[in-house]
A = this chain, B = another copy of it.
């Protein structure tokens, strides 16, 4: 599995999903092309999925927000008879390398979190309308929806058969949402997660595994009724979407070049440098932003940074350190962000802010060592300043650098950092950073809009180090060399624990607790060994387990 994985797609290329739009309701059909998998060696039978299916779903969800703001309810259903979705493809999982399995699960989790949040954030609710078997990752799709409907036809069911069948966990949020969203009684959760056959409508309703059981004969009518109810909860008239035109990207052996982002790949050093280039003049008003649409810097930069992060995650596993830089005029970044903040009741401005929130979360959750270099000429301001707090360490250039004509490094905070871009733990990055000293959050907020040089930023606790021209190069080099020398696994485990202090949410629990246990199991011989369940599934051989408990 070494081919390059591309996260860019559009509806003309979909092989697994189709959508019917009807006013404020969208019907989203999962209809997986058996032969449309990303890799050879398996067929995506019974609406099972691999990453190719999820890349399209992520695109669907993203375009729904930007291209179809008129939609208030998305009904997710199957395009096949007798099966809703059989979950992640087992042969794919059995054959995939550990890192791919882990990255695949993380991306699918991020996508599910995105559409789970769409109802509350954007008044775009997801309804899952289940006919046929809805198993494993299929039911985890449903669990992330706002409302689950199941036909009461005597055979359709929801199930999480991972444990008994495959010796792995329902790791795409399943276990967490069963206990913390559906709030299943613990012994019932234990039963439900241990049986292959799952629950049909009456039992599923009694146990709160679904929200509504619907007679099969009336299924389409009741689904349509619910969709209109959900869509009617918020106002969508007058919203006119913008087209998410293809991003500009050139990939070479050593770099990725976008219109606002550049990624330099240093394979010898084991690191990648992402530079975000700041904008020129901001659109004059919100109408101009709508006119610019996907061409607006503030949306382009988010899309390109998002793509760059995903590319590194999946295609550049050996680049363990990611350096984040910016270049440009901080005042212009602030102007672009201010247009959004000042017009946060405009749907497009709101969506772009929400997208930045997601992109920044994607950075938080990227298991690479992250470092920000605040150099002369940089524009860590507004939402780009959040990158300084998303990383593990921040170096800031202090004062004038010889033979460097660019402006001295400055940082400018905006109000955006104080609530617009919360982390998965639902705190701002500065609240998380200053968990023990909330007064430091206030001190930083008091400086909103001020140009902060390295001394000022350091005094406020916003950077890890401030180095002048004499020390900068050596200090940065020593850090990068040291970081590259550490065990990548220890880094992953350490960062997963240090980055998310404070309260836990369903999201942090999915990525911190559930994912960690799933990753552990994904290495265990009882799952992935020659006689393990993932390998023996479908061969007619029973798995053979080492019975020792850990």
Residues of chain A touching chain B, judged by Cβ–Cβ distance below 8 Å, are 98-99, 102-103, 162-164, 166-169, 175-176, 178-180, 182-191, 193-194, 208, 270, 317-320, 367-368, 392-394, 432-437, 461, 464, 482-483, 486-499, 501-504, 509, 512-514, 516-521, 523-524, 526-527, 532-533, 543, 545-550
Contact = CB atoms under 8 A, between A and B. Distances in A.
B394 A498 contact: no
B392 A187 contact: yes
A231 B191 CA distance: 49
A166 B498 CA distance: 18
B176 A392 contact: no
A504 to B, nearest CB: 4
A99 to B, nearest CB: 5
B549 A318 contact: yes
Contact of A489 (B394, B488, B498, B521): B521
Contacts of A190: 392-393, 494-495, 498
Contacts of A163: 486-487, 490-491, 494
Contacts of A436: 182-184, 208
Contact of A175 (B433, B492, B498): B498
A502 B193 contact: no
A549 B392 contact: no
A547 B270 contact: yes
Given A493-B517, A516-B520, A519-B550, A193 B487 contact: no
B320 A549 contact: yes
A80 B294 CA distance: 67
Contacts of A533: 487, 490
A494 B523 CA distance: 15
Given A187-B464, A393-B187, A526 B490 contact: yes
Contacts of A543: 487
B186 A490 contact: no
Contact of A548 (B99, B483, B548, B550): B99
Contact of A193 (B193, B494, B503): B494
Contacts of A548: 99, 317-318, 488
Which of A436, A491, A501: most chain B CB closer than 10 A? A501
